[in-house]
Structure 1
Amino acid sequence: MRLDMTKHCALTVAKTLSIFCVALFLAAPSSARDFRPALIASTQYNYDPANEVDVELVLAVDISQSMDTEEQEVQRAGYVAALTSREFLDAIQVGPIGRVAVTYMEWGGVDEHFIVADWTVIQDANSATRFANTIAEAPLRQVQRTSIASALEKSVQLVQSNQYQGLRKVIDISGDGPNNQGGSVTEMRDRMVATGVTINGLPLMMKSNKNTWQAMLNLDHYYEDCVIGGPGSFAIPVRSQEGFADAIRMKLVMEIAGLHMPEPDPYFQRVAGREPIRCDLFD
């Protein structure tokens, strides 16, 4: 009798638990019941061969207050000439895919970023001309501060949020002064390089013979020590308006084709032969 009662209680409990579980399942929201299919769908990889490029390149251009109208015009003209040059177009063809994705952003202080020409695939003279014309026709802007740190962070965000799949990801940042807003430039540089990008520099030193602080700072050394980073990174200083277009063209060709200049070369100097720059001098 005692055994039969135990069996009866066990059966009653089992039935009760079964009813309770069914009720929970029916009451659960559809999103919970569909968890496994949704998880599988979210991990599917979407591949579009049209979005595959050799390089994702951000052209990040300084428009801070120290860049006067004439210098901005020279800067714009230099990029337009370089982007439509035969050397640049030939460099694109060197890549295994034969096309690159490029965007042109102007920057100043913290959160002062202006997309002048959005992401565009360049693979021939026509696509390069359309992109360059967008840059040439945009109105000039000028802002007050210089946050290289903020410009680097925004540039990497542009790389991470686009639809392209590049074999290499390059940030090309130009400027005529040190970081003076937005925190430590070296800490930001290191964080951004850790995402897988290469940061190259174009220090503009056209005023170094007139501007005491710029000459004393050695802006090219500052860019080498504090701004550039990642595999194969380099900086090419621009010391005159006349040499601006040539410097940009050389830089773009090296970035697109993944080339390195043979040594010795007058454009390149080894960092090891001088005293390091204090990167936090203006942070």
Structure 2
Amino acid sequence: MRRWLYGLSCLAAAALWQPALPRAQTAAPPPEEVDVALVLAVDVSYSMDLDELALQRNGYIEAFRSKQLHDAIDKGAIGKIAVTYFEWAGGSFQYIVRPWKVIDGPAAAMAFAEELGEAPTRRGRRTSISGAIDLGVQLLEQSNVTAMRRVIDISGDGANNDGRPVTTARDEAGAKGIAINGLPVMLKQAGYFDIDNLDTYYTDCVITGIGAFVIPIREKSQFVEATKTKLLREIAEAPADATFHKAQSGNIATCLAGERQWRDRMGN
């Protein structure tokens, strides 16, 4: 009897010490296919006044509400895009307003516009276009979509004056097959940190990739139309004869104009 009880207790102990079987893991869903993965990187540095910030945000809201944009998405090979929207200033000031969202029709585009309209706008000091590009690259690599094209869309009203050189960030993004387009805001030309010909600076120092382009905004009335035009070009398939844009400036000092200006006026 004792031997039987002892054997039974040993069996019970062995059962308790059995290693746990691994739980069945749910496979992650495969990346969703889209025509373009688009990062909208929007300058909210203090050089932009409150009126300009409101006009800038409204430009994107109205663009995503427009039938032209809805039709452009629908005409894509897949009929979907993925988009994220973040605001930036200096290298330590970056805020993701809307994480990645797949837009596959008017309802999703309208919802994205509403989300932008409801989100607060923040402001920060200095201007780090290089930091915005770096975050854009990081977001694209974390997007969990398979995109035929990957694009970072930079809008801003000044030259890079914080973080690493903008050309370094641009070239690293370009080497990964990422295109960068620019929307320079040129409403003020006499501000403390404004530079002449910001559109030329963006062309020479910021944009890169197949079919890359710059659309400057020189009047407040141009915000909505310029933003919509830019998005339509980014969503539409690049033409077959589109060329790869590289920096046009032969003088690297041109692309360090913002850093030099900050040093001369602020002393650091």
For residue 125 of structure 1, report the CA deviation from its aligned partner: 1.2
Among 54, 60, 77, the alignment partner of 2:58 is: 77
Inter-partner Cα distance in structure 1 for 2:184 and 2:51: 17
2:215 to 224, 236, 239: 236
| Identity, % of aligned positions | 45
- Conserved? CA contact 1:58–1:155, under 8 Å: yes
**1:88 partnered with 2:64:** no
Does the Cα contact within 8 Å between 1:63 and 1:141 map onto a contact in 2? yes
1:91 corresponds to which letter in structure 2? A
Structure 1 residues 86, 259: closer, same or farther in 2, change over 3 A?
farther
Partner in structure 1 of residue 206 of structure 2:
227
Displacement of 1:112: 1.5
- Letter of the 1:227 counterpart: V
2:112 and 2:98 mapped to 1: Cα distance? 7
CA contact (8 A) 1:84 1:129 kept: yes
Structure 1 ranges of 4+ moved more than 4 A: 271-277
- What SS does the aligned partner of 1:180 have? coil
Question: How far apart, CA to CA, are the structure 2 residues paired with 1:274 and 1:85?
Answer: 40
Residues 42-96 of structure 1, C-alpha deviation per residue, up to 9 Å, x if partnerless? xxx98737x1100000000000010111111001111000111111111111211
Task: Map 1:81-120; keep pairs closer than 5 Å.
Answer: 81-120=62-101
What root-mean-square deviation, in Å, do the aligned CA atoms of Structure 1 and Structure 2 show?
2.3
Does residue 281 (structure 1) correspond to residue 257 (structure 2)? The answer is yes
Structure 2 gaps, min length 5: 1-26, 242-246, 260-268
**Structure whose CA Rg is larger:** 1
Q: Of 161, 179, 191, which aligns to 1:211?
A: 191
In 2, are the aligned partners of 1:225 and 1:276 still within 8 Å (CA)? no
* TM-score with structure 2 setting the length: 0.79
State the alpha-carbon separation in 2 of the partners of residues 70 and 237 from structure 1.
Answer: 18
Q: Following TM superposition, by how much is the alpha carbon of 1:273 offset from its aligned partner in structure 2, in angstroms?
A: 11
**Structure 1: distance between partners of 2:138 and 2:39:** 10
Q: What CA distance in whole angstroms lies between the structure 2 residues aligned with 1:58 and 1:213?
A: 26
**How far did residue 282 of structure 1 move?**
2.2
Contact 2:204–2:249, Cα closer than 8 Å, also in 1: no
Q: 1:276 to 1:89 in 2, by over 3 A?
A: farther
Residues 279/238 of structure 1: CA separation in 2 closer, same or farther (3 Å cut)? same
Partner of 1:129: 110
Query: Counterpart of 2:135 in 1: which secondary structure?
Result: helix
Map of 1:250-269 to 2, 5 A cutoff?
250-259=229-238
Question: 1:258 offset after TM fit, Å?
Answer: 2.6
Q: Which amino acid aligns with 2:196?
A: L
Tell me if the contact between 1:199 and 1:230 (Cα under 8 Å) persists in the aligned partners: yes
Deviations 1:25-45 (A, max 9, x none): xxxxxxxxxxxxxxxxxxxx9
User: How many Å apart are 1:111 and its aligned residue?
Assistant: 3.0
For residues 53 and 136 of structure 1, what CA distance do their matches in structure 2 show?
25
The answer to whether the 8 A contact 1:153-1:188 is kept is yes
Give the match for residue 248 of structure 1. Answer: 227
8 Å CA contact 1:58–1:159 kept in 2: the answer is yes
Unaligned 5+ runs, structure 1: 1-44, 263-270
| Contact kept? 1:109, 1:150, Cα under 8 Å | yes
Tell me which amino acid in the other structure corresponds to 1:185.
V
Please give the TM-score of this superposition, normalised by the length of structure 1. Answer: 0.75
- Between the aligned partners of 1:198 and 1:73, the Cα distance in structure 2 is 27
Give the helix-richer structure, 1 or 2: 1
- For 2:262, the equivalent position in structure 1 comes to none
Distance 1:180 1:212, change over 3 A: closer
Residues 1:123 and 1:68: Cα distance change in structure 2 (over 3 Å): same
Structure 2 match to 1:48: 30
Number of positions where the alignment pairs a residue of Structure 1 with one of Structure 2: 227
User: What is residue 41 of structure 1 aligned with on the other side?
Assistant: none
Contact 2:210/2:238 (<8 A) preserved:
no
What letter is aligned with 1:232? Answer: G
